[in-house]
């Protein structure tokens, strides 16, 4: 019991810090932040004096949590080698913890600020659309549900910035998703402001003239003259996707759509051998499904998680019933994760205790060559 209260203080610290960084005025400090600071000051490691000023406290939060935070405060889902702040902003690890642990598991306390409550509401709005499509898929019209899911998800991934007329055009004929529901996942842009995005990691924010993405460890070089960095000029009705949706849908969706386009291209070049490439089959039970001319099926789920230990905990056997059946299954790891960590695949394989050995764990690059090899085998094998 005592331990769970302590990790609750850590949750308050994460939420309170995100509130503090998001508020325009410095004072008053958010209640949750004050609560967490009090709890910490009583139990912080004795070798480290509790900072006397807020700026001193924020500097401390840049350090790995294991160096200053009492170990019984740190929840097991948080990687203790990382800090809560990174170069003056909320760190990537803290952001992941907030969205993947606190928001996903409904662990936001009721006295969080409106800012954080808004994140919860946005998260819910997205979930409500998915649940509705899932019901249609299971109860009445799986084809229609699948078709609308594809329109919805790819629209969000491709359109970090949009306008209401573009939304109207894309969702004019959808039966289960309304234009208002999609519009609710976006917020209005401010006049006379410059907006930016990166082809590789999505929305960029500008601070002190420098551009920063949501995962600097995976995509960090955002010079304004880079070919993959783009500026969006303000126009009437310009909308920008909300933070939570960007994090949950757009960022992981970029490598998914990249691999999908590459496979679609291969399919068009070799339609007699690679018969079909399906994106998000079964309403995203996994990311891609391939059907070859020998009637074999491959199931693929793409992962873009920086830390192989963290990813390993999430890897389980892919669902393969009914139309989702497969002969081979793959977890494909984005190249940017592997480049950062040469032992990535070995570690993930070793640590993924729930993953059957028949499921392959490969890099994006290796996976593409496997598909090409499979097509070549079919061509020479003459199975068509």
Footprint of Zn ion on this chain (CB under 5 A)? Answer: 198, 200-201, 213, 219
40 or 229: whose CB is closer to Zn ion? 229
198 or 361: whose CB is closer to Zn ion? 198
Say if residues 59 and 51 touch (Cβ distance below 8 Å). Answer: yes
- Exposure string for 367-382, b = 16+ CB within 10 A, e = fewer: bbebbeebbeebeeee
204 or 277: whose CB is closer to Zn ion? 204
The CB-of-145 to Zn ion minimum distance in angstroms stands at 33
The CB-of-223 to Zn ion minimum distance in angstroms stands at 11
Q: Locate 290 and state its tokens.
A: 């391939």
202 or 308: whose CB is closer to Zn ion? 202
83 or 213: whose CB is closer to Zn ion? 213
The CB-of-76 to Zn ion minimum distance in angstroms stands at 30
The CB-of-253 to Zn ion minimum distance in angstroms stands at 14
Rounded to 5°, angle at Cα 349 from 345 and 350: 120
35 or 200: whose CB is closer to Zn ion? 200
What Rg, from alpha-carbon coordinates, does the chain have?
23
Closest listed residue to residue 91, CA positions, set 26, 199, 13, 28 = 13
What is the Cα–Cα distance from 36 to 33, expressed in whole angstroms?
A: 5
201 or 332: whose CB is closer to Zn ion? 201
What is the Cα–Cα distance from 194 to 378, expressed in whole angstroms?
A: 51
The CB-of-13 to Zn ion minimum distance in angstroms stands at 28
Alpha-carbon separation of residue 58 from 20, 43, 61, 79, 378 (angstroms): 11, 18, 5, 19, 59
> Of all helices (H) and strands (E), which one includes residue 229?
strand 229-232
The CB-of-227 to Zn ion minimum distance in angstroms stands at 12
The CB-of-163 to Zn ion minimum distance in angstroms stands at 23
Looking at the DSSP assignment, which residues form a beta bridge with residue 186? 241
What is the Cα–Cα distance from 30 to 26, expressed in whole angstroms?
A: 9
Say if residues 363 and 335 touch (Cβ distance below 8 Å). Answer: yes
Q: Locate 359 and state its tokens.
A: 């499921």
75 or 213: whose CB is closer to Zn ion? 213
Adjacency order of strands within the sheet including 202-207: 210-212, 202-207, 195-198, 229-232
Tokens 């051998």 — which residue? Answer: 273
Closest residue to Zn ion using C-beta atoms = 198
246 or 374: whose CB is closer to Zn ion? 246
> Of all helices (H) and strands (E), which one includes residue 255?
helix 251-269
Alpha-carbon separation of residue 335 from 29, 179, 262, 264, 338 (angstroms): 41, 35, 14, 19, 5
The CB-of-222 to Zn ion minimum distance in angstroms stands at 6
Cis peptide before 28 (omega within 30 of 0): yes
| SS3 of residue 187 by DSSP | strand
200 or 303: whose CB is closer to Zn ion? 200
What is the Cα–Cα distance from 336 to 363, expressed in whole angstroms?
A: 9
The CB-of-200 to Zn ion minimum distance in angstroms stands at 4
The CB-of-198 to Zn ion minimum distance in angstroms stands at 3
């Amino acid at each position: 019991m005592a331990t769970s209260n302590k990790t609750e203080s850590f949750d308050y610290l994460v939420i309170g810090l995100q509130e503090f960084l998001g508020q325009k005025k410095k004072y008053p400090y958010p209640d949750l932040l004050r609560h967490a600071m009090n709890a910490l000051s009583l139990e912080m490691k004795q070798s480290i004096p509790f900072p006397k000023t807020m700026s001193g406290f924020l500097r401390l939060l840049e350090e790995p949590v294991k160096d200053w935070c009492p170990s019984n405060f740190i929840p097991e889902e948080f990687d203790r080698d990382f800090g809560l702040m990174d170069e003056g902003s909320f760190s990537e690890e803290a952001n992941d913890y907030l969205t993947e642990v606190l928001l996903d598991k409904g662990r936001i306390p009721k006295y969080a600020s409106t800012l954080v409550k808004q994140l919860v509401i946005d998260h819910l709005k997205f979930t409500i659309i998915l649940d509705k499509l899932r019901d249609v898929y299971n109860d009445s019209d799986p084809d229609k549900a699948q078709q609308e899911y594809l329109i919805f998800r790819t629209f969000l991934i491709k359109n970090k910035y949009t306008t209401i007329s573009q939304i109207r055009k894309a969702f004019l004929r959808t039966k289960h998703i309304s234009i208002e529901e999609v519009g609710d996942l976006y917020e209005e842009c401010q006049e006379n402001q410059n907006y930016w995005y990166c082809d590789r990691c999505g929305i960029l924010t500008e601070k002190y003239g420098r551009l920063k993405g949501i995962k600097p460890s995976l995509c960090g070089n955002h010079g304004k003259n880079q070919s993959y960095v783009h500026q969006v000029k303000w126009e009437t009705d310009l909308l920008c996707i909300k933070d939570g949706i960007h994090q949950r849908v757009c960022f992981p969706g970029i490598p998914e759509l990249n691999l999908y386009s590459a496979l679609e291209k291969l399919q068009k070049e070799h339609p007699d051998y690679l018969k079909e490439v399906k994106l998000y089959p079964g309403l995203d039970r996994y990311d891609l499904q391939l059907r070859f001319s020998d009637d074999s099926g491959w199931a693929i789920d793409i992962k873009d998680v920086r830390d192989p230990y963290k990813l390993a905990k999430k890897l389980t056997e892919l669902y393969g019933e009914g139309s989702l059946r497969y002969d081979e299954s793959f977890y494909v790891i984005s190249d940017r994760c592997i480049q950062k960590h040469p032992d990535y695949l070995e570690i993930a394989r070793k640590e993924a205790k729930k993953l059957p050995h028949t499921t392959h764990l490969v890099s994006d690059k290796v996976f593409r060559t496997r598909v090409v090899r499979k097509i070549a085998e079919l061509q020479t094998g003459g199975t068509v």
